[in-house]
Amino acid sequence: MTAADQRPGAAMPPADGMRPGGPTPGGPTSGGPTPGGPTSGGPVPGGGRPPRRWLKAVVVFLLIAIPAGYLVISALQSRNGGEDKAEAASAKGLSAGYPTRVQRRIYDVPVPPYSKKVAFYETNSWKVSSLYVQFVTSRHGLDSFLAKLGTRRSALDKGEVTITKEQARRVGWQVGAPGHDWSGMVIKQKDPEPKLRITVKFDNPTHPKVYVVSTVTP
């Protein structure tokens, strides 16, 4: 016996092209569905996702709660705005901060240093120009301000509001409102020097609030 006869040969594939142990001819292929079994895209018998009722409930809650929250916030803002309406109105037309040095010199309004809530507004026309100024200062600041204008606190008339309603309405000031401690004066000078209307609110004597309208006629 030769060496070739002793070595086993390679297995030969069946004549029908199928592997041993594979499906028989005419039977179902390996990739197809089993007869009577579920298809790949169909529902699982007895399965399926339960309806998401909790998600629907959350959506309904948000649709109700969010608008209601906005209504509550709007109501609170309206109430707070109403309580502080007079103070908010004073910002109408006014620019926060000190007038420029040129404006203070032309209109003769020496706003004291370290004043609070300083704001101003200037109007100009062919006939007259005016500077509106407000600030909160100390007792010393008020005395210094009046001294630079050649006057003093004792010259303020108790209960007098010297700024006209038309002037106050232009910038939203509530000067002259009842329930407050007002004093005022008018400083008249020869043209072209400015004329100053000064009104002071002494609700807080240590920090009076000063309103000034200085008018220049060319």
Average pLDDT value for the chain? 77
pTM for this structure?
A: 0.60
Report how far residue 132's alpha carbon sits from residue 154's, in angstroms, rounded to the nearest whole number. Answer: 23
The residue behind tokens 């004597």 is 205
Report how far residue 125's alpha carbon sits from residue 127's, in angstroms, rounded to the nearest whole number. Answer: 5
With cut-offs at 50, 70 and 90, classify the pLDDT of residue 52.
low
**Measured between alpha carbons, how far apart are the two ends of the chain, in Å?**
140
Query: pLDDT tens for residues 5-38?
Result: 445 554 554 545 444 454 444 444 444 444 444 4
Ramachandran area for residue 93 (φ above 0: left; ψ -120 to 50: alpha; else beta): left
CB atoms inside a 10 Å sphere around CB 110? 14
> Residue 157, SS3?
strand
More confident residue, 10 or 165: 165
Go through 162-190 and write b for each residue having 16 or more CB atoms within 10 A of its CB, e for each that does not: bbeeebbebbbbebbeeeeebbbbebeee
Residue 148 has pLDDT above 50, yes or no: yes
Report how far residue 216's alpha carbon sits from residue 218's, in angstroms, rounded to the nearest whole number. Answer: 6
